Structure 1
Amino acid sequence: MGGLASAVCLSAIGFDQAEAQAVADASSATTPSASAGAAPGTQTASAPAAPARALPPSLHQGQKAGGFQTLRANDSFPIPAAANAPWDERLKHVPLSADGQIWVTFSGEERMLMQNFNRPSIGTASPALASLSFQFRHQYGADLHLGERLRVFGQIVSGQVTGDNYVSPVFGRQQNALELGQAFVEYSRPLYNGRAGVRVGRQQTHLGSGQLISAQPIHNIERNFDGVRAYYAAKAFRFDAFAYRPLVHERGAFDDTVDDTTAIWGAYGAFALPRRQHVALNFDAYYVGYRDEESALLKATSVQDISSFGVRLYGSIHGAQIDANLIQQTGDVGPKTIDAWAMVNSIRYPVPGAPRNLTLHLVSNVASGGSREGDVIHTFDPLYSVQRHANFASSIGFTNFVDVGGGFTFDATDKLELGASLRAFWRYSIEDGYSLGYQTAVNNRKTDARFIGLLPGVAANYNLNKHVSVKGSISPLLASDGYKAIGEDGMKSYQLELLYIW
């Protein structure tokens, strides 16, 4: 596995939105209660039993927003609400047959995302103007259940963007008049103490911690695919196989098309490891194949084939929630071979007895890079990662960098969570660039400095209720002296999200 085998794993915590969600999803441990089965006459209570082996219910579910999944097809409401419940709760289970076997769930979302990037320079001859964008997403869906085995899910989405000096020309994942975001049929049935199923059609997908395939919810129009996904899920084991083609997003109404030059396929296995007292870990292994017949990685358009092999260890150890990921990429692009890798590690530790749910976070990430002039390409490709382009509180692109940092969060009130963090970034290779958001900021022709700079950040998350939330973050990149010498004078990032979801 090349450099991956010799990498030193620095355990750390994710404190931006995507990483915090991934770590929280990784935890499946519970604090066992003392056994009540002590033999008569004994003075010492028996040791607490280890928790039962079970995968976390949040596996492959993606991020949550309020009381709902951002991947709305993963929400489940099998029981009707009371007749006097609020209107939105009654719409979560609308019976369509007298026996209750046919029913439909409705869902909706309205989101405004403000992003402000102030880039005095990105290492080019002319300064970059400050960018301000307001992105609006409107998303509504219906989930029809025809008995316990068959369901039909559909979702429409529309997005608009306005502001000053934002990415131009506007592309289809920022602005889209009206589009069929999801439309699939799923059949499932009980099988060998588990459940097997197949999903066919247009769908959103989040695998594991989302390092290679996710819906990328930071974008105005989320990532979706046309294809098929089959699965078998039991209490302590799950296996998924899939074959997809991504969509080409246009700006008009119902004009998105399937990208017939790009394909992605693979398999993902998840296992709940044997439990011990205060230890509940899970192990995943997966393969993702990717083919792009019109890759622009090299100077000339070429065919790119990538095979990604990944492993993930996650769960709880004495209260600490860990999530460790290793990915090795092989393949070829044009006449060159690919040998790249990435490591994504995080720890989240709720401090015992601390007030306000004080939680410490650590993170360490590495994504390989290198020159594209030789016979081997070492630049890691994040494919459709939740990390790609922008996290909620980080604007460093997920390639050719080393990242170490930490932070903390606490509950200021029962509805308001506050946090602060500090991360340091280096280029993995001085023969490759790194990216700020969508733009490559510095390449090997401008500087040989390796240290990029520091990224302090503060964030707030206010949940009025399970439907309404407000998130905000400030994260200025403080450029190193080496990058200031070529005109990279740092970057300021402000983001604000207003969300109503039901």
Structure 2
Amino acid sequence: MTVRKDRRGMRRGRSAALTLLALAAVPASAKAQDVAVTQTPEPSAPYPRAAIGVGSVVGGYAEARWAEDWSALRDPERRKDVFDRLKYTPLSQDGEVWLSLSGEMRLRTALTTSPGLREGADLRLDTLRLVGGADLHIGRHLRVFGEMAHGGAGGDNYGNPVGAIRNDLAVTQAFFDVTGEIGGREVGVRYGRQFFIDGSPYLISTRNGATLLTPFNGIRGWVRGEHWRADLFDLHPTRLGTGDVSDDRTDDARRFSGLNVSTQVPSDWFGGSKLYLDPFVWRFRQDARRWGAETAREERTYVGARLWGAAGPAQLDWTLARQTGRFGDRDIEALQVFTTQSMRAGEGTGAPRISLRVDYGSGGGAYDGGVIRNALTPQGVPIFYSYQNVFNPVNMIAVAPGVTVRQGKTSVTGEVQFTWRASERDAVYRATDLPYAGTEVVEGRHVGEVWKLQLAHTISPRTSLIARYEHLAAGSVLKDAGYESSDYLTAWVNFRF
């Protein structure tokens, strides 16, 4: 691995950070503060906002910043500080044209021993995420959103990071959407570069573990009623370069399209619940997919459903996805199942929350020339299995009990993940869906355990600090193929407005 000590990106990032913070300190104009409140805030979607397929929103802040709703700040009395003024800046006298600015800065360092699960020098990677966004609302029905990001990287023995890790400048989002109402239902369409997180995060995500989040390009349309919603989409992933905005290209060799539906489960089920059932039909095409020694065009269809929410005292998130299609001239028959459930062990917010995660991704066929039984995610979150990105739910069985204890602004989570491969006739796969060479020819199923401990502390509503330690204890399959155990330690501070 090439040893590099690249400080240029970090220095450039620090300068951009100071610029971003200086921008945040500029107060809104006197005209903006004196605008009369003549209109009511924009109406929320008739379907529950938590289930419209835009990701979670915690404390007003979201992973996809356009999912936030700051329209209540049109009332000057609600603006408590300079950042609130940046979240709602009226550009017309009636307040119907307004601008919301957003920003994020994340400083992170990570140390990995035995990188790649091979004996070698330790790897240290320091990254800086800087993001600035602008959300322009032109009346109630038209919105334009733009977002740019910088990813700085430095450290020791970290090789050549991809564009999602180090990137001088990228347009991470640039779209417009139009919304309206037909027959009492909200309808809308969005076109451009956008984050897409409508579905189980095990299957589709922005991959927040990286420095830069990964967007899609294309179109999404929706209909939302009081008790159901439906979304259609046709998207291409973005291939991020490491330079300026000119090398971030739409990846025409991959295409992701489909239909998502959501409906509310009757609230009297399970002794009282707030559950959502989300069936989906997706199609994912890759022009040059590799399984074993063969590279071919792959077209994969996903048919499944997600059940998630609160059922009595328990929180659950269950997803089943059956996958069929063709890889070259070979059939695909694969299955993925993800189940997470948790429950508080006692009364009060300080009581521990006990969790259990059980995941399955089928495997087989990559090396024997038969039916492809390897499951595949379009763009899932590999950090569920390890923050050092050693596994993905391909030919995998994972069982992970855990516990979280929260006191005030601090939480501590511990988890141990027991991992096996589903088929002995196939390899163990990395987070990139590439195999660990040699694991396909050794016997056994035991891949190993991942021991995890994480501390999270909320410094302020806008600032958080997280530290995490992981130990991967290699099992017989990895050891017999020449791989070894690894330790991983990371910490990061995140500020957003």
- TM-score calculated relative to the size of structure 2: 0.84
More displaced stretch, 219-228 vs 140-149: 219-228
Q: Percent identity?
A: 24
Cα distance change of structure 1 residues 254 and 424 upon mapping to structure 2, 3 Å threshold: same
Q: Which amino acid aligns with 1:489?
A: E
Residues 1:183 and 2:150 aligned together: no
Give the AA of the match of 2:203. Answer: L
- Corresponding position: 1:160 with 2:160: no
- 1:306-361 CA distances to partner (integer Å, 9 max, x unpaired)? 11112111222221011110011111111211111110001021223156142111
SS of residue paired to 2:112: strand
Report which structure shows greater RCO (CA 8 Å, sep ≥6).
Answer: 1
Deviation at 1:406, TM superposition (A): 0.8
Report the Cα distance in structure 2 between the residues aligned to 1:295 and 1:436, rounded to whole angstroms. Answer: 15
Distance 2:167 2:116 in 1: 30
* Cα distance change on mapping 1:395 and 1:112 into 2, 3 Å: farther
Q: CA deviation at 1:418?
A: 0.7
Partner residue of 2:83 out of 88, 106, 117 = 88
SS in 1 for 2:50: coil
Q: What's 2:274 paired with?
A: 280
Correspondence 1:208 to 2:203:
no
Aligned mates of 2:60, 2:357 — CA distance in 1: 26
Q: 1:375 aligns with which of 363, 370, 375?
A: 370
Among 464, 471, 482, the alignment partner of 2:459 is 464
Number of corresponding residues: 445
Asked if residue 218 in structure 1 is aligned to residue 209 in structure 2, the reply is yes
* Structure (1 or 2) with the greater helix fraction: 2
CA distance in structure 1 between the partners assigned to 2:381 and 2:391 by the alignment: 13
| Paired residues of 1:393 and 1:457 also in contact (CA < 8 A) | no
2:339 pairs with 1:331:
no
Corresponding residue for residue 295 of structure 1: 289
Could you tell me which residue of structure 1 aligns to residue 427 of structure 2? 433
2:397 maps to a residue whose letter is V
1:356 counterpart residue number: 350
Q: Partner of 2:95 in structure 1?
A: 100
Which of 308, 311, 315 is the aligned partner of 1:317? Answer: 311
* CA pair 310-116 structure 1, distance change in 2 beyond 3 A: farther
Aligned equivalent of 2:360, options 366, 369, 377: 366
Q: Distance in 2 between matches of 1:174 and 1:360?
A: 33
In the aligned structure 1, how far is the partner of 2:92 from the partner of 2:464? 35
Structure 1 CA distance for aligned equivalents of residues 488 and 250 of structure 2: 34
In 1, Cα distance between equivalents of 2:47 and 2:193: 30
Which of 225, 232, 246 pairs up with 2:237? Answer: 246
Partners of 2:201 and 2:290 in 1: how far apart?
24
Q: Cα distance, 1:181 vs. partner? A: 1.0
Structure 2 residue runs of 5 or longer lacking an equivalent are 1-45
Q: Secondary structure at the match of 1:201?
A: strand
Unaligned stretches of 5+ in structure 1?
1-52
Q: Which moved more, 1:450-459 or 1:382-391?
A: 382-391
Range with bigger deviation, 217-226 or 477-486: 477-486
CA RMSD for the aligned pairs? 2.3
Q: What's 1:49 paired with?
A: none
